[in-house]
Amino acid sequence: MQHVAIISKPQKPELVTLLPELIYFLKERGFEAHLDETSAAYVKEHGMLRESMAGCCPSLVIVLGGDGTLLSAARAFAKTDTPILSANLGSLGFLTEVPLSEIYKTFDAWQEGSCSVDQRSMMHAELWRDGKVYQAWDALNDVVISKGAIARMGDYSIQIGGQSVARFRADGMIVATPTGSTAYSLAANGPIVMGSVDAMVVTPICPHLLTLRPIVTPADTEICISVVGIADQTFLTVDGQEAVELKLSDEVHCRRSQYSVRLIRLGEHGLFNVLRSKLKWGER
């Protein structure tokens, strides 16, 4: 029997009905469902830690939630080649394009090999402290350096490809993948980059320098952001979900990861369809 991992968003009452139906649907097709702890709570069973689910070697990951739930699943399965089918239970849903009504149809299309698969590159980020790697991550969306509760700017220095770019004051910095270009970077006035483009985006957050603008770099270029001055507390956040407090002289190094994420699509919904439907492009 093959395995399917199911990862769900909390506090979604519709999953109380949907999950038993989905588990039965999978069983009828010869698949055993492995549930994360959130999914298991809906059906009153014992679940698995997301971080350990890759050890079951599932053929597919089904995500029931929004983009945040998908980002968590992507990091949990980053070192595998397991495809992810994500059904949108969130609000915007830039990544979770498959409507809940099409989840069974999309699964059948995946089994038949008739669905499309998007290959999304990830970013490898390292926090250097005292001359060595203190912590490292692989992110699908972005890494963000931002200040804490006190409204004071920090001082940062940035290098791209070993070349000094600038030293400046700002509320923070965002380094995003093309996938993450429609997340926090977009809200900070960054560009929208199509997922197939091999690039990364460096976006300042409210810089105290009117001429400083977002920069699009080749994905194989290393980006280094140095913390020159700290305003109260400053944090490095990965995909909006994992955070570590930064110290003076810390460095954040970002480059393209060796891993990627495979997202299953039923049809060619596409980025621009999402922009039209979610951000109301073209409406008056």
Encoded tokens for 81: 């080649």
For the chain, the first-to-last Cα distance in angstroms comes to: 52
CB 224 within 8 A of CB 168: no
Helix (H, G, I), strand (E, B) or coil at 177: coil
| From 36, 67, 142, 250, the catalytic residue | 67
Q: How far apart are CA 165 and CA 41, in angstroms?
A: 49
CB 274 within 8 A of CB 94: yes
For 79, other C-beta atoms within 10 Å of its C-beta total 12
67 carries an active-site annotation: yes
Tell me the H-state helices in the chain.
Answer: 15-28, 37-42, 67-76, 103-112, 184-187, 270-278
Distance of CA 80 to the CA centre of its chain: 16
Q: How far apart are CA 96 and CA 69, in angstroms?
A: 9
Kindly write down the DSSP assignment for every residue of 18-72, as one continuous string.
HHHHHHHHHHHTTEEEEEBHHHHHHTT---B-GGGGGGG--SEEEEEE-HHHHHH
Catalytic residues: 67
